Amino acid sequence: MRASQFHLFTLKEAPSDAEVVSQKLMLRAGMIRKVAAGIYSYMPMGLRAIRKVETIVREEMDRAGAMELIMPMVQPAELWDETGRWDKMGDELLRFKDRHERDFALQPTSEEVVTDIARQELKSYRQLPKNFYQIQTKFRDERRPRFGVMRGREFTMKDAYSFDRSEEAAGRSYDLMFAAYKRIFDRLGLEYRAVAADTGAIGGDRSHEFQVIADTGEDAIVYCPDSDYAANIELAEAVSLLARRADPAKALEKTPTPGKATCEDVAALLGVPLATTVKSLVLATDDVDDKGQPAGVTVWLLLVRGDHALNEVKAGKLEGLKAGFRFATEAEILEHFGCKPGYLGPIGLLKPVKVIADRTVAHMADFICGANDADFHFTGVNWGRDLPEPDLVADLRNVIEGDPSPDGCGVLAIQRGIEVGHVFYLGTKYSKAMNATFLDEDGKPKHFEMGCYGIGVTRILGAAIEQNHDARGIIWPRAIAPFEVVICPVGWGKSQAVRDEAQKLYDALLATGVDAILDDRDERPGVMFADWELIGVPHRVTIGDRGLKEGVVEYQGRRDAEAAKLPAGEVLGHVLARLDRA
């Protein structure tokens, strides 16, 4: 490709509404152009990077035995009604009617359509396992689209769906996809972690996120530097920080704490470590009878150490809270505790509540908690002596840096990440809802065991830039750079020797399969260098009259601090070696 024939349009400044580094640099480098909130045109430079991501994804999916198809972006409501997701998906599902007043949606994902394909096409266990995938446009009507391609409304995604005859076989399909994803992200050249994750709204059991490490990431990734343990903050297991409960050493006292309604304020007032306090959080569940009618409210008291935070995802997995919970109203709190929030605790309740203690709290002794009396807290509180043992002991909190790793191999660290891939084991969630069955070996119908596997193709571009950039612009990993090498001839319009040498190198690179571009725009060196550093091409060769008279040209890698002079006859070999193609 010659630059004079390519659409190359860069900006010195990003638009004022651009928020994050990747969005600013993609706009400045001419890779995307905004059409509407969360909707972008992908310009030729950006599309080249997308196609390279797609190629790697496609090659590894094919290698893993998956088969590509394309499912429609527009999907009928009838299929979504079968799974109940027509209503459950909420406003992110963009719904509309056709001229016949029939309901349709723009797909954010394709579990319903692919399950419909399976129930029509896969009749026997002999046809299993099967894995279908597509690289297709998706649409989610985000309330507040932001961060460019990181959280847009329209985006490109690879989604795959596996169908198996048993849970054991589905586990093997999951492992195949997990391995394929590791190969994909290794080839993309990104620093990433595969972390155990919550299954969220899609449902299912086994789940891993693939997170690109970046300081600007929205997600907190918990990992152990001394082992393979990794999980997102919602799922990371928090072990007890106390090996056992100590014997009581203090008497129970009702202590004045005027105006001190937080654990931090109480600890400061009493001159004690925050870790000696216990925080009370009051939840409620709305009970129903066998006929689905309202049958009262159950109030739950969750106790975590004062310096810890409640993990609502973990709470939502507990028996009694699985069907959904809410924070209790002030009226409900007054009815059960006789006190306003800020001074609540498990001692002296007016009405029974379900008490759940975090693992660490269950091992605490002589702790401090609210006295259910405004401006008072109890000190010297001990389980068994001053209050009954909790109804349940559970992992309720977010982990913090330095916690013991649950695998016993050191302590935990936390870093930020951007989710770019997710693998789920779904089980029969969708096949049962849509009555998708096959005839098993015994001749009886059986529901498919399913898995789903997604990669945000366009999101990878944003994540790669967030991880790889500097003050000059983007620093693409070679595998997904729009071009691998740029040749910058200085004085293109003035020197036949420069043109000849540049063309010779360009032809040689193309002949070896290198994706090179020749900048024949006859621009000043500063303009050329600024453009290509902004765009992030990994390797640059500069050819000028002065250097040629000395028999040398300049080579500079995008991460190199300065250019190196090389004999003109050796530059091809040097570039190929840097590209691992020598």
Is 245 inside any structural domain?
Answer: no
State which H helix or E strand residue 487 sits in. Answer: strand 485-489
Q: Which of 363, 394, 425 is the last residue of a domain?
A: 394
Indicate whether 453 and 359 sit together in one domain: no
Is 133 inside any structural domain?
Answer: yes
Indicate whether 258 and 375 sit together in one domain: yes
> In 3-state terms, what secondary structure has residue 577?
helix
Is 297 inside any structural domain?
Answer: yes
> What is the distance, to the nearest Å, from the Cα of residue 412 to the centroid of all Cα atoms in its chain?
19
* CA separation for the pair 455, 188 (Å, rounded): 12
- Domain that residue 338 falls in: 253-394
Q: Residue 274: is it exposed, middle or buried by C-beta count within 10 angstroms (0-12/13-18/19+)?
A: middle
- Residue 32's DSSP bridge partners are 42
| Contact of 448 with 432, CB cutoff 8 Å | no
Is 168 inside any structural domain?
Answer: yes
| C-alpha dist (Å) from residue 137 to 14, 75, 109, 318, 576 | 26, 13, 10, 37, 36
Indicate whether 222 and 180 sit together in one domain: yes
CATH number of the structural domain spanning residue 573: 3.40.50.800
Is 402 inside any structural domain?
Answer: no
Indicate whether 438 and 488 sit together in one domain: no
* CA separation for the pair 532, 29 (Å, rounded): 9
At 205 the pLDDT is 60
| Contact of 115 with 450, CB cutoff 8 Å | yes
Is 477 inside any structural domain?
Answer: no
Torsion of Cα atoms, 532 then 537 then 543 then 544, to 10°: 20
Half-sphere exposure of 30 (CA within 13 A, CB side): 16
Indicate whether 52 and 181 sit together in one domain: yes
Residue found under tokens 């590209």: 579
Indicate whether 9 and 156 sit together in one domain: yes
Q: Which of 341, 359, 394 is the last residue of a domain?
A: 394
Indicate whether 211 and 295 sit together in one domain: no
> In 3-state terms, what secondary structure has residue 279?
strand
Q: Residue 71: is it exposed, middle or buried by C-beta count within 10 angstroms (0-12/13-18/19+)?
A: middle
Q: Which of 394, 426, 447 is the last residue of a domain?
A: 394
Indicate whether 66 and 184 sit together in one domain: yes
Cis peptide before 129 (omega within 30 of 0): yes
Nearest to 214 by CA among 197, 187, 196, 192: 192
Other beta carbons less than 10 A from residue 251's beta carbon = 11
| Contact of 545 with 505, CB cutoff 8 Å | no
Mean pLDDT in consecutive groups of 10 residues from the start of the chain, 582 residues: 92 90 95 94 97 98 97 97 93 94 96 97 97 96 87 95 97 96 97 81 70 89 90 91 95 96 96 97 89 85 97 93 92 95 95 96 98 96 96 96 94 94 94 97 96 96 96 96 96 92 96 95 93 96 94 94 92 92 66
Beta strands in 191-316 (DSSP E): 192-196, 207-213, 219-223, 230-232, 253-256, 278-288, 294-305
Other beta carbons less than 10 A from residue 442's beta carbon = 7
Is 407 inside any structural domain?
Answer: no
pTM of structure? 0.85
CATH number of the structural domain spanning residue 361: 3.90.960.10
Indicate whether 368 and 507 sit together in one domain: no
366: left (phi over 0), alpha (psi -120 to 50) or beta: left
How many structural domains comprise the chain?
Answer: 3
Indicate whether 443 and 506 sit together in one domain: no
Indicate whether 301 and 170 sit together in one domain: no
CATH number of the structural domain spanning residue 146: 3.30.930.10
Indicate whether 279 and 363 sit together in one domain: yes
